[in-house]
Structure formats: C-alpha cells, structure tokens
Amino acid sequence: MSAGHDHSHHHHHDHAPKLDHLNAAFIWGIILNSAFVVIEVIAGLATHSLSLLTDAGHNLSDVASLALALLAFKLTKVNATSQYTYGYKRSTIIVSFFNAVILFVAVGFIIYEAIMRFMHTEVVAGGTMAWVAFIGIGINAFTAWLFVKDKDKDLNVKGAYMHMAVDAVVSFGVVISGIIIYFTNLYWIDSVVSLIIAVVILRGTWSLLKDSLRLEMDGVPKEMDLEKIKAELLKCKGITDVHHMHVWALSTTENALTAHLVVDPEYMPTFNTIKKDLRHRLEHMDIIHATFEPEFSEEECKHVDC
C-alpha cells in the first residue's frame, strides 16, 4: 500500500518566530554584548574583580551563542538538496545543544577561578565594579526583552532569552557585591558572588540541555503527547486504529510524524479527503510534516513495532 505524504506550512508560519524580527534582535544582542564584554574586561583587570572577569567570559559565550543561533536560523532558509533532503533545519537543534554546553563550560571556569580566589584573595575596587555591572543590567535586560515575545516558540530563542535574563540577574548580583565590598572591604564577597553566579547559570541551563538533547536523540518534543495525538487522529471518520506512530523534531520549530492508519475499507476511496482532515488536525498540534501508511482494517500489520 502506498504511503500518503502531506506537507503544510500555513499554520506553522502563524506560530513560528519571524526571521526578520529575530535577525534584528540577534544583531542588536551581538553588538551590545560584544561592546559590554570589552568594558567588563577592561574594568575587571583594572579593579581585580573576578566577578566582572567571569561575567565577561560568560557574556563572551553569550555573543558566540547568539551568533550561532543567528547562523542556524539563516540556514533554515537554505533550500533542500539531494544530500540534505530536509535542508539544514536541524542546525537549530545542534546550535541549541552547543549553547547549553557552552554555558556549562563557562560555569566550570567560574567555579575554578572562584576557588582560586578564595585561596589567594585580591583587593577589589567595589565602586567601579558596581557601576560597570549596573550598565550590564540595562544591556542584558534590553536584549532579553528583544526575545521575550518569541521565547516560547523556539528552543534557540528560549536559549537566547535565558542567556540574557540570567546575565541581568548576574549583573545585579555583581552590583550588590560591589556595594558590599565598597563599604566593608570584605573582598572574599567577590568569590562568593562568582559561585552564586555559577549556581544561577546551572539552574537556568539544565532544562535547555535536557530539551536540546532530547531533540538531538529524535525524542518526542516535550510539548507533544502521543496519546493525545493518537486520540485526535482517531476522531477522523474512517480511521479505526493508529499504530507504529513516531513524532520527532526536524528543527526547533518544526515537528514531523509518521503513522500506520487502519482505514475502514468503505472509506479507502476517500483517503485523500482523510489525509486533508488529518493534516489540518495535526497542524493545530504543531506537527507540520506528516507521512501516513494506510492499511485495510482486515489486514494484519507485519511491522516489528505493530
């Protein structure tokens, strides 16, 4: 029995982030954060502040992450080829995974440096440290705001939003530590804040790592419920059973499905109409690419997963 293969994009475009808007958001984020990294490095070296230097390293990783995410979005627009029949959509999943890994590496560096500073305390200029971090709050909060509208539509945008939101919180922590150091000369506070920064980053990164790894392994996207999808397909007149169903992500915004459909024989001549109905139902569940294999109800499925 031949398979029915339906592609539809109308519904998807209504819910996917708009590339033009994101292009501007990513470019602004890259420019602002690159400039702030330079400011933090200069200030961190001048004030001997570990908090500023580690935050600068973290912000540099954010710049790299934003650049990779922008590249991935542009690759999704590249046409498919005979070697890459789905195009380069999966690059968005790869980038979201690398973004999480980059954050974990940054955390490792921060923890190591904080421990070293506990062993070898350095004098820190708390006032300068606080003012520089205060600038960071504004830059990171503004960049996070650029992504807030689309953060629930795409894993990469969520990653970018989390990077910026976490950085705003981190900068606030550095401001507080700078003020405390300025008035008390408790220089070890700088290392404590660095460790708190590490914990905040870890908490914000764990879900991003799990979600991206799940998509890398062709797992069912976390917002998808297979039982609900099957129940929705069975609502279609003429479908008596659904089995051997697989759902996976083609990119951070597009999902695909394959399924064996047991069709009542009297409805088999209208299978094209059934496909249109199923396609419409799946679009509203954020599944854009669907491949169906119809079977007569009296047939016995020979597939290993049936």
Q: What is the 3-state secondary structure (H, E, C) of the chain?
A: CCCEEEECCHHHHHHCCCHHHHHHHHHHHHHHHHHHHHHHHHHHHHHCCHHHHHHHHHHHHHHHHHHHHHHHHHHCCCCCCCCCCCCCCCHHHHHHHHHHHHHHHHHHHHHHHHHHHHHCCCCCCHHHHHHHHHHHHHHHHHHHHHHHHHCCCCHHHHHHHHHHHHHHHHHHHHHHHHHHHHHHCCCCHHHHHHHHHHHHHHHHHHHHHHHHHHHHCCCCCCCCCHHHHHHHHHCCCCEEEEEEEEEEECCCCCEEEEEEEEECHHHHHHHHHHHHHHHHHHHCCCCCEEEEEEEECCCCCCCCCC
Instruction: Give the pLDDT confidence score for residue 2 in this predicted structure.
Output: 42
Evaluate if residue 11 carries a pLDDT over 70.
no
Evaluate if residue 224 carries a pLDDT over 80.
yes
User: Tokens for 191?
Assistant: 């290392």
Task: Decide: 59 and 203 in contact? Cβ < 8 Å.
Answer: no
Domains of the chain: 17-216 (1.20.1510.10), 221-296 (3.30.70.1350)
Instruction: Give the pLDDT confidence score for residue 13 in this predicted structure.
Output: 44
Instruction: Give the pLDDT confidence score for residue 9 in this predicted structure.
Output: 42
Q: What percent of the chain has pLDDT over 90?
A: 11
Evaluate if residue 193 carries a pLDDT over 70.
yes
Q: What is the pLDDT of residues 148-165, one digit of tens each?
A: 887 777 777 877 887 788
Instruction: Give the pLDDT confidence score for residue 231 in this predicted structure.
Output: 92
Query: In the predicted model, what is the mean pLDDT of residues 272-298?
Result: 86
Query: In the predicted model, what is the mean pLDDT of residues 112-116?
Result: 81
Q: How far is residue 11's CA from residue 284's CA, in Å, rounded to a whole number?
A: 7
Instruction: Give the pLDDT confidence score for residue 88 in this predicted structure.
Output: 85
Q: How far is residue 283's CA from residue 290's CA, in Å, rounded to a whole number?
A: 9
Instruction: Give the pLDDT confidence score for residue 7 in this predicted structure.
Output: 44
175 phi/psi in degrees, rounded to 5: -60, -50
Q: How far is residue 260's CA from residue 87's CA, in Å, rounded to a whole number?
A: 26
